[in-house]
Structure 1
């Protein structure tokens, strides 16, 4: 079968389509004929071996697929790897039936990035009605869903960052009250200004480095910041305990993989997200579809922040 298999770690240049053996199905697993595979920013880290969990070679990247099982079920599945291929194997508890009214792109946007946004707001920061929320990379896969969910769940003011004026306009159309330039220089002041001169209650942060530092400084009393990525590939400054105590601030971390031992932590939020999508109350943003043969271009575009929403691969091309 055709698949993207890497034999060395590196950037997009190591991503090449190869002919490989079809995956073997073990006990408790299902074989999926892949209609579309999802692309995540975490994949760029996995390919260069800078992800939270280390990877062994050779590797077929890709953590999510949508397609058909041998008995005809249309499912979206979470995988450890192996998604960038014509066929993939998933453990049965992590292959979720996709309802009518949810497209392949929608399903891929919701299964990982949607459940991440759900947990960031409900589990990690415990968003309360009327609170202000700052969503970094509001035009991205997680961000575009988090903006909409925050509004649905009663946030008082939703502020998003984005890297271009076009993206900022798009985020406002999704429901953000205001969108600002996400570059680190002067970011704290722009955040506070966007919130009517007040610090913010909740921050969803996935850039790292100076962006993390500026965002922390923009937190209100009893504010909560959750970090779920490091797109800048930079480390933030150390936070002394006294800085947490003053203002009673909280920093949390979130990694969706920590939900994998309890399938209900994925399945229950996903069903809620599917229902919202079918009802027209949630609109996953599918930003682009690439042939499998252009996977390197997809990674280049993602890393350069030229994309919006969810990116998908078509393994048939």
Structure 2
């Protein structure tokens, strides 16, 4: 082989290695053994999604203009405009499905089996070790698995969240307007309670391998009164159960309403607003001292 051909071969190999290295360093999305680059769109049998930061995002139902009659017209969450429908004429790779967040699927009458075909077997497993933390409080963490980050869960019409509650921590009083919550304790013990419409407090201490539930729309909370961490899995019977945290919601009311509600002056209301913690919240001083944390 001549010197010039040898040099050309070496350069070609170097360029190929550089190309592979560059591709491996870029954020990609995977599906059925195939690798898709950032900003690459994929058309599936029922969904079209875009790869972004190792996740499929901006997913939409594949509804074409001549079949809009198959869309539920009274669904407020579905964009009925023709411009919102992904074009099937674009030069995009066509595969049988996608993984990642869903938007625009609600209201489209997509066949159940066709919807499931968008996902690999492993998509039906929720790995909380890889789910992002959503909470910002000092008393624990929460990792939700819902239709926004685990789209296949929409097929079961449910949502799950993994909670870790620190010693003395509390998952602040809240309600789920569209879902009943079941709680299974996987570590430690918790004091839990909810209030019925008639004003009755249902209070219990639950420990590892025990479960309880909170009826839809009723005010409830979970608190760790022990000096060891506690953990539980929350399962709701809706993929969109909603969440209204009561302290934060109260703080949004006008001062006049809060002053009348608590029969206190403006100074009290202002202090109340300033002191509201994010959840899960850190415990009170007495519990923290008892546990040697203060």
Q: TM-score by structure 2 length? A: 0.30
More helix by share: 1
> Higher Cα Rg: structure 1 or 2?
2
TM-score (norm 1): 0.28
Structure with the bigger RCO (C-alpha within 8 Å, sep 6+) is 1
